Structure 1
């Protein structure tokens, strides 16, 4: 399943490890270290520099990546849940 995470970005849910509020994520020293390491390895995408509402961690081909999204973590979580419900209902009808 794929979900829109802001602007022109879509991710595959099978790669998703974490959706978290950006401010809460940034309040942890351990999380800041993780993010700095990912930045040094050029594995962080910031969708919109002016609007940072959530952070997503993904594992792609065994490597960790971070995406900073302008969409709230609550909205993103709902997108994943609603899509799964839609697919389940569709499959039940066939």
Structure 2
């Protein structure tokens, strides 16, 4: 399944590891270290520099990536849940 995460960005849910509020994520020193390491390795995408609401961690080909999205973590989570619910109901035809 693919989900829209802001502006022109869409991700594959099978690669998604974490969706978290940006301020909460960055409030942890450990998370800041992870983020800075990913940034140094050019594995961070910031969709909108002016609006940072959530952080998504993805595993793609065995490597960790981070995306900073202007869409809230709650909204993103609902998008994934609603789509999965739709697919489950659509495929559960008895």
What's the TM-score, normalizing by structure 2? 0.98
Partners of 1:81 and 1:47 in 2: CA distance: 22
Q: Which residue of 2 aligns with 1:32?
A: 32
Partners of 1:69 and 1:10 in 2: CA distance: 11
Q: CA deviation at 1:89?
A: 1.1
Q: Which residue of 1 aligns with 2:83?
A: 83
SS of alignment partner, residue 83 of structure 2 = helix
Partners of 1:93 and 1:80 in 2: CA distance: 21
Partners of 2:29 and 2:22 in 1: CA distance: 13
Partners of 1:56 and 1:21 in 2: CA distance: 9
SS of alignment partner, residue 92 of structure 2 = helix
Q: For the aligned residues, what is the CA RMSD? A: 0.9
Partners of 2:38 and 2:89 in 1: CA distance: 38
Equivalenced residue count is 94
Moved over 6 A (4+): none
> Gapped runs of 5+ residues in structure 1?
none
Partners of 1:61 and 1:16 in 2: CA distance: 12
What's the TM-score, normalizing by structure 1? 0.98
